[in-house]
Amino acid sequence: MGHRRTITGSRILITGASQGIGKALAEAAAARGAKVLACARKVELLNDVAQQIRAKGGVIEVVQADITSPDDRQRLVETAEKVFGGLDILVNNAGIGATGHFADCSAERLREIMEVNFFGLTETTRVFLPLLKKGNQPAIVNISSIAGKRGIPARSEYSASKFAVQGFSEALRAELAKDGVDVLVVCPGLTQTNFSQNMIEQKALVKLDHMRGMSAEDVAWHTLKTIEKGYNETCLTLRGKLMVLVSRFLPWVADIVVRRKVRGLFKDEIEARQKNPVEPIDHGRPA
């Protein structure tokens, strides 16, 4: 458990704040009296969020920024210092995804996902550490995923990026204990956002219906509760929690379930291969 804190009066940076969970977080935090610094790549959407928040009396500043850019990350630090005099809470929310089997996808796709979901997150954290160490009840909040607790077929790259976030968060939590900086992790399951529409690529045979998931507003509420209570980790949705429990205590069951699912999807391909096995390549014998 980390420290308890109040949202009111806290200076909060939220990355990826133009849509989905980030937008809902910015609105909810501002409504509770936080001073919000919101960033994203799409400035038009950011400005819309800011307009809605200010119309309700909330305090928000926006910065168009790409967290994979060193210059943009430094500009965020400078803005936080100039506008709010520092930072108390960093919410690393920005992320991208893609679907499709690993063997059918490019190395460039994997690198792009890792660049945003992991390196962008870690390097944003790095540049803000000096400010956070001087903040009031400071915390780093990493928005991970249930996919960071159990790898999901056809989402291997996204799962890998979120597993990396989990490992980084656990190690950093121990390292920053001496500085009084909490490292908290929130793992949403399916969430009603435009995440699937904004994916780099979609090649999975089975599409996850995000509209069946938790609303972005509910995820934001649980995230703010995590921050207030100082929970080290929060996993969301009943299905997500069950998946985490089964993977932890009965991993072999989870393995059987996902293998059967994949084999069922590729039944025709498997049967065709069994009927027409590939002849081994004769490389000849050494002289």
List residues with catalytic annotation: 158
Residues 6+ apart with CB under 8 A from 83: 37, 61
d(CA 88, CA 30): 14
Do residues 157 and 105 lie in contact, with contact meaning Cβ atoms separated by under 8 Å?
Answer: yes
Bridge partners of 251, per DSSP, are none
DSSP three-state, residue 61: strand
d(CA 258, CA 251): 11
d(CA 215, CA 147): 18
Residues 6+ apart with CB under 8 A from 45: 18, 19, 23
Bridge partners of 183, per DSSP, are 140
- For residue 75, what are the CA distances in angstroms to 20, 70, 82, 92, 133? 24, 9, 10, 16, 19
Do residues 224 and 25 lie in contact, with contact meaning Cβ atoms separated by under 8 Å?
Answer: yes
CB atoms within 10 A of CB 250: 11
Please, what sign has the CA dihedral across residues 212, 216, 217, 222?
Answer: positive
